[in-house]
Amino acid sequence: MPLVAGELDKNQLPYRIVYTDRFPLDYEILLSTSGVHGIIIKQEFIPADLISAVWIRKWVSPGSFVTEGYHPGIFPESDRVLRQFLTTLKPGTKIMDSLECISNSENKWVQMVLAKKCDLLVPDTIITNHPYYSREFTQSRATVVKLQIPLSWSMDGGGEFFYTTDWSDFETSQYKELLNAPLTYQEKVEKKEEYRVIYVDGDFHCGVIPGNIFDRQTDWRIPGTQFQWQTGKLPAPIRGKLKRFMQELGLNFGAIDLIHTPKNEWYFLEVNPTGEWGMLEKNLHLPISKSIARFLSQ
């Protein structure tokens, strides 16, 4: 957020940062049948009809990290009212992106089906907790195993995380008890490199993870992984397919993961509607925050 705030400051555009998990502790909301709606931040009343754009960077439910001192009923009610406040914004307010679009787009199965509809390559995949189908799949091809959500959450947004893992390693890992869960089994695609693509309203900002790190592991996000980000460029046909894919999802923003193979094939893995991008701007000086600020101010 500070990077985008800096771009807004350069253009002398007023903004306020609202941390959703701090409502109703740090600010107030007014919804009225008289038509007067607003948010009060540090005693400043901001009418809803003066808000021209909203960027939902991360939606963390109110009170997520409050453990004591408040009635537990406060926070579910606060979450509902905060969502209702967004519906009072005037028609034409730019939103990156609506909560409905974000929620719908987080469905990984829907992503893969839609990616194929948009003529993107997708690794062969099954999601199952049936031993016959998982055995049949893993015995017929090199396979990686994934979960779709973290195993736990913590205050810093981290928590126990299950990284993409080779099936051969998974069987002997501490997580083998997860076999009772419906796991995502996916064909292991050979990587020349992996792309993290930040899509902002038709702009593509590409960071590349060199393929040699995957000689040692299957997931570049594992803590302690050492590599240098490189700048990448997508072929025009792939950009066109990804743009269609994002438009079908209704997303103006997303962090897209792709595999580029030695055979020059491009495989879609997933899109995170609120994915991380700061490391790309920091390491590669990609103008991602400028793209976001431009969308919000147009």
Listed residues 143, 164, 188: the one ending a domain:
188
Judgement on whether residues 92 and 129 belong to the same structural domain of the protein: no
What distance in Å separates the CA atoms of residue 288 and residue 294, rounded to the nearest whole number? Answer: 10
Judgement on whether residues 114 and 250 belong to the same structural domain of the protein: yes
Judgement on whether residues 30 and 12 belong to the same structural domain of the protein: yes
| Domain count for the chain | 3
Judgement on whether residues 174 and 206 belong to the same structural domain of the protein: no
Judgement on whether residues 183 and 194 belong to the same structural domain of the protein: no
Whole-structure pTM value: 0.91
What pLDDT score was predicted for residue 274?
Answer: 94
Domain boundaries, position 149: 124-188
**Amino acid type, 243:** K
What distance in Å separates the CA atoms of residue 208 and residue 185, rounded to the nearest whole number? Answer: 24
Structure token pair of residue 57: 């960077």
Domain of 215, CATH number, reads 3.30.470.20
What pLDDT score was predicted for residue 156?
Answer: 39
Judgement on whether residues 182 and 194 belong to the same structural domain of the protein: no
What distance in Å separates the CA atoms of residue 129 and residue 225, rounded to the nearest whole number? Answer: 31
Structure token pair of residue 141: 């091809």
Judgement on whether residues 116 and 246 belong to the same structural domain of the protein: yes
pLDDT tens per residue, the chain (298 residues)? Answer: 689 999 999 999 999 999 999 999 999 999 999 999 999 999 999 999 999 999 999 998 888 777 677 887 899 999 999 999 999 999 999 999 999 999 999 999 999 999 999 999 999 999 999 999 999 999 999 999 998 876 544 333 445 567 888 898 887 666 667 888 899 999 999 999 999 999 999 999 999 999 988 888 888 887 888 899 999 999 999 999 999 999 999 999 999 999 999 999 999 999 999 999 999 999 999 999 999 999 999 8
Listed residues 188, 218, 235: the one ending a domain:
188
Judgement on whether residues 130 and 172 belong to the same structural domain of the protein: yes
Judgement on whether residues 285 and 201 belong to the same structural domain of the protein: yes
What pLDDT score was predicted for residue 71?
Answer: 82
What distance in Å separates the CA atoms of residue 272 and residue 280, rounded to the nearest whole number? Answer: 15
Judgement on whether residues 11 and 83 belong to the same structural domain of the protein: yes
Q: What is the pLDDT of residues 167-193, one digit of tens each?
A: 988 876 666 678 888 999 999 999 999
Judgement on whether residues 108 and 232 belong to the same structural domain of the protein: yes
- Average pLDDT of the chain is 91
Listed residues 188, 214, 234: the one ending a domain:
188
Judgement on whether residues 171 and 228 belong to the same structural domain of the protein: no
Backbone torsion region of residue 100, taken as left when φ is above 0, otherwise alpha when ψ lies between -120 and 50, otherwise beta: alpha
What pLDDT score was predicted for residue 168?
Answer: 85
